[in-house]
Copies of this chain bind each other. A is one copy, B any other.
Amino acid sequence: MIESDVSISRMSGTRERILDSAERLIAEQGYAATSLRQIIAAAKVNIAAVHYHFGAKEDLLDAVVLRKVAPVNAARMEWLDRVEAQAGAGPLRIEDVLESFLLPTADTAQQNPDFVRLMGRMLTEGMMPSLVEKHFQATVMRFSAALSRAIPYLPRQELMWRVHFMIGATAHAMSMKPILSGMEGDAPDMNLRMRRLVTFLAAGFRAPSNAALPESKEK
């Protein structure tokens, strides 16, 4: 629905300026705290231009997020492609799958500091479960399948819950400004943070499915 390329209509300029301003301000202040009037003032456009190009405020957020998230999800897919190609018919390493999900985030964070804040805001602030779902559903499904292949003995239901635990931990880890004592040092190093997370999650995924839990009917 949203034209993603530039070729048509020569890129109005207005549209891009709105997106840039919105991205910066939302990353800084959050979605709710950022008014359309702030955005259009920074972009030096009229407020009606926002509604012309995007519709409601939430739709503008959707466009902002899409512009940043789509390349990251693409990078994740490519990374996972490589991992799967290298594994061939053999087993998949859990760590490799998790890295293909987590490290593209860190790479992007390096070259665009706003990105992490924006993602954190998106996942942390209300920003519509529907919006999150829309942008991540396909990616999550693809990774769930890969994880299922890496841990074939794990019942599907249990795997799905662990995927959710992973998503929650990741969202929190990304948005976190580490304020608890003893972790001031590596606050900005998103790559280290994500590698810590890989270690933690890999162990969690490997944990034996608790036989005492009632789910013997699955898989």
Write the chain B residue with the least CB distance to A203.
B207
Shortest beta-carbon distance from A8 to chain B in Å: 35
Q: Which of A40-48, A70-78, A161-169 contacts B (4 or more CB under 8 A)?
A: A161-169
Write the chain B residue with the least CB distance to A124.
B126
Chain B residues with CB below 8 A from A199, complex form: 207-210
Q: Binary interface profile of A, 144-188, with partner B (CB < 8 Å = 1, else 0)?
A: 100000000000111011111111111111001011111101100
A207–B199 CA distance with the chains assembled, in angstroms:
7
Query: At the interface, yes or no: A66 with Cβ under 8 Å from chain B?
Result: no
A178–B173 CA distance with the chains assembled, in angstroms:
21
Copies in the complex: 2
Query: At the interface, yes or no: A196 with Cβ under 8 Å from chain B?
Result: yes
Chain B residues with CB below 8 A from A176, complex form: 164, 168
Known: A144-B180, A164-B176, A196-B213. 14 other contacts (CB 8 A): A124-B124, A141-B180, A162-B196, A163-B180, A164-B172, A164-B173, A164-B178, A165-B201, A168-B169, A168-B173, A169-B169, A169-B172, A199-B209, A200-B207
7 interchain pairs, CB-CB under 8 A: A161-B200, A192-B213, A196-B213, A200-B205, A203-B203, A203-B204, A203-B207
